[in-house]
Structure 1
Amino acid sequence: MKFLGKRKPAGGSGPAAPAATTRERGNVAEDQALAHLQAAGLQLVVRNYRTPGRGGGEIDLVMRERDGTLVFVEVRSRAGSAFGGAGASISVTKQQRIIFAARHYLLRLPSPPPCRFDVVLVEASVQWLKAAFDAQ
């Protein structure tokens, strides 16, 4: 008879450790990206900014450069490079949602500062792509 459940680790007596959820892996990647950006001198303004309602957008990190530039950061992580890796997962639709959320965020400010959209790819290493895309 075949056993289709989770296997116990070899030599261990307890159940197999549960795999990290996508959200947990995303949080770890965001933590790594945040540490990388802060080490480069950026300040965290807000994490996981979401627009209200369905169909809106989310910005993983809103950071501020020393010169006052507001940086909207999308963090992408992939375990492997299949299907183009983390960078290939930022579709035009995803960019539009980030831009929508950024515009919503900027409406709250009395005078919007200079802004840009960066991407941080977390794969085997952390790669920071400044001005990865533009609002159109």
Structure 2
Amino acid sequence: MRPMSEGRKDSRKQKGAAAEEAAASFLVERGFSILDRNWRNRTGEIDIIANDRGTLVFVEVRSRSGTSTYGTPSESVNHRKIAQVRSIAQQYIHYKKSYDIPIRFDVVAVILKPDMSVDSIELIEAAF
């Protein structure tokens, strides 16, 4: 039998994966080309990296399920997370040698129903 905390972690991972999948589909429907998903290095991970009409877009996916007890998904992007995403983006640009491409940081906020289907989804362009 698994410890209780492990079950919560699995559930959290499943919700995160469902939200990221929904966000990727949402972006593609809006004309974005997905370049990378879950690109990581030793300092962290960027959920989605996409191209939007010639702009390299680093997308942070945030989700909540059901209630707004802990605030909206977009409210959960704090200064520490912004700094982390910017740092990883800088490393991605260097790694891919994408120096001359305009960049943007977007947030996709997803609210999931209890069955992990999407209740609402919102793109916040140039969020930070």
Instruction: Tell me the TM-score range normalised by the shorter chain.
Output: 0.7 to 0.9
Partner of residue 22, structure 1: 12
Q: Give ranges in structure 1 of 5+ residues lacking alignment.
A: 1-17
Instruction: Please identify, of 74-83 and 106-115, the stretch whose mean Cα deviation from structure 2 is larger.
Output: 106-115
Q: Say whether the 8 Å CA contact 1:57–1:100 is kept in structure 2.
A: no
Residue identity opposite 2:71 in structure 1: G
Q: What is the SS of the residue equivalent to 2:14? A: helix
Gaps of 5+ in 2: 1-6, 112-118
TM normalised by structure 1 equals 0.77
Alignment match of 2:125 (pick from 127, 130, 133): 130
- Given candidates 68, 87, 90, the residue that maps to 1:81 is 68
Counterparts of residues 51-62 of structure 1 (less than 5 Å) = 51-52=41-42, 56-62=43-49
Measured in 2, the distance between the counterparts of 1:109 and 1:46 equals 11
Q: 2:33 aligns to what?
A: 43
**Compared with structure 1, are the counterparts of its residues 103 and 83 closer, same or farther at alpha carbon in structure 2 (3 Å cutoff)?**
same
Bigger share in helix = 2
Higher-strand-fraction structure: 2
Instruction: Report % sequence identity.
Output: 38
Match of 1:13 in 2: none
Partner in structure 1 of residue 52 of structure 2: 65
In structure 2, the residue corresponding to 1:48 is in which secondary structure? Answer: strand
* Mapped pair 1:102 → 2:89: yes
Q: Which amino acid aligns with 1:120?
A: V
Cα distance in structure 2, aligned partners of 1:41 and 1:72: 15
Matches within 5 A, 1:108-127: 108-112=95-99, 113-123=101-111, 124-127=119-122
